[in-house]
Amino acid sequence: MLKDIVSGEQLETLVTSEDIVFIDFWAEWCAPCKEFGKVYARVAEQYPAIQFTQINVESVPALAEAFQIRSIPHLIVFKQGIIIYSESGNMPESALKELVEQALAVDMTDIRAKMEEERQSK
C-alpha cells in the first residue's frame, strides 16, 4: 500500500523509524509519473514489509526543493535513514524489483564505515 507524504515531519518519522523507505516524487500532470505510478503500486503490493511512499511535488514543494528534485518521476530510497539511491526517470517493473532486492541486500555496516572514514578525512 502506498502512503502519501504530506509534511517534512511525517517523512522524517518514516525515514527514521522504518528500515527501508522508497519515495516516489511525482505530479498529477506528469504522464511518465502516471506510468511509473502503476508499476510502483504493483511492486509495493509485493513487498509489504517495505514502506513505499509518494510525494506530490505540487502539494509539498518544500520537500521537492529540499531533495533538489529537478525532474520527475524521481525515486529516492532510504535504508536505515541514509539515502542509498536517488534517480530521475521511468523504470520498468523488473528494474524496480531488482532495486528492491538490492536495497534489501545492502550492508549498512560497510556504508556507515565509509561515511565515518570520509568524515574523519575532512
Query: Domains of the chain (ranges plus CATH)?
Result: 2-121 (3.40.30.10)
Assign 55 to helix, strand or coil.
strand
Q: What is the mean pLDDT of the chain?
A: 93
pLDDT at 70 over 90: yes
Residue 30 pLDDT level (bands cut at 50, 70, 90): very high
Q: Which of 20, 33, 55, 60 is catalytic?
A: 33
**The one-letter amino acid at 45:** E
Catalytic status, residue 85? no
pLDDT for position 27: 97
pLDDT at 17 over 90: no
More confident residue, 76 or 109: 76
**All cell numbers assigned to 50:** 517495505
Distance CA 112, CA 118 (A): 10
Q: Write down the pTM of the prediction.
A: 0.90
- The DSSP letter of residue 67 is T
C-alpha closest to that of 84 among 65, 99, 97, 71: 99
Q: State yes or no: is 26 an active-site residue.
A: no
| Residue of 30, 50, 57, 63 marked active site | 30
